[in-house]
Amino acid sequence: MKQQKLMEESISGLIVRTFFSKLEQHLAVDVAIVGAGPSGLVAARDLANAGFKVAIFESKLAPGGGVWGGGMLMNEVVIQDDAAQIINEFGITTVKADDGYHTADSVEMAAGLIFGARKAGAVIFNAMAVEDVVVHNGVIAGVVVNWNPVRRLDMHVDPLVVTARAVLDGTGHPSEIVAKVVQKAGIKVCSPTGGIVGEKPMWMEDGERTTVENTMRLSPGLYASGMAANNVQGGFRMGPIFGGMLKSGRKIARIIAEDLSK
């Protein structure tokens, strides 16, 4: 007589099969986005909506980057008039305030950005860190991934590789991926020094403007958005105002889409 499957076996089996199928389908993607902060999530949604295969790798358990904490753990953020529309497209509510600013509940914004990117078709691998890049003849051709707990515990475990036609560094302040490219691969990037200039201190107005200006292709196959872009070019930081991050995500999605369509 056939033995009936136990519930425990069915549940574990479903998780293992669906996860590995998802991973296998994303071992070669059009765009690998490193970091699920606001700029990366906006870029992911735009690129997925444009029909590209997008995978986001986020080292933390919860995607959303620096959005959740608002300003000093007060869970509201501020967005300028000309960028509010971008999160409204995700269905996130903004409340108009004085002087051309809007506020948004940071928990709704983080959750909404994640949901919007995922619903557009971008797949998010959380608790998975990018520890290196793939370089073929000077062209960035993918990312090297491992479980973040493995990295944190400094375990000697070899990683896996995801190939990509474009790699976006959306890792925020440290621009971890560009650092690998410059320091380890010895590739010069498009910046005043050919390397990472380093983020400057607080100046909200200038930082917001330059975040968008600094968003660009850095070398063949490599792009940066958000604070990572600012760190590379030496822009100012700006704290809990997010218009620049949203516009940066939108701008880099357009640049990547144009490059991949050539």
- Interacting residues toward ligand 48F by CB under 6 A: 34-40, 57-60, 65-67, 129-130, 170-172, 176, 226-228, 237-239, 241-242, 245
Write phi, then psi, for 206 (nearest 5 degrees).
-65, -40
CB 189 within 8 A of CB 228: no
Which one, 38 or 116, has the nearer CB to ligand 48F?
38
Which one, 59 or 233, has the nearer CB to ligand 48F?
59
Helices and strands in the chain, H and E counts: 9, 13
Amino acid at 113: L
Shortest separation between residue 127's beta carbon and ligand 48F, angstroms: 9
Which one, 228 or 257, has the nearer CB to ligand 48F?
228
Measure CA 166 to chain center: 13
Which one, 9 or 85, has the nearer CB to ligand 48F?
85
Shortest separation between residue 53's beta carbon and ligand 48F, angstroms: 18
Residue with tokens 């070398």: 219
Which distant-in-sequence residues (6+ apart) come within 8 Å of 41 by Cβ? Answer: 56, 63, 64, 113, 114, 116, 117, 249
Shortest separation between residue 24's beta carbon and ligand 48F, angstroms: 20
How many residues are present in the chain? 262
Shortest separation between residue 203's beta carbon and ligand 48F, angstroms: 12
CA–CA distance, 262 with 260 (Å, rounded to integer): 6
Q: Which two tokens stand for residue 118?
A: 């995922």
Shortest separation between residue 171's beta carbon and ligand 48F, angstroms: 4
- The CA-atom distances, in angstroms, between 124 and each of 59, 224, 245, 258 are 11, 18, 19, 23
Which one, 17 or 184, has the nearer CB to ligand 48F?
184
CA nearest 26: which of 118, 152, 96?
118
Shortest separation between residue 13's beta carbon and ligand 48F, angstroms: 28
Which one, 88 or 126, has the nearer CB to ligand 48F?
126
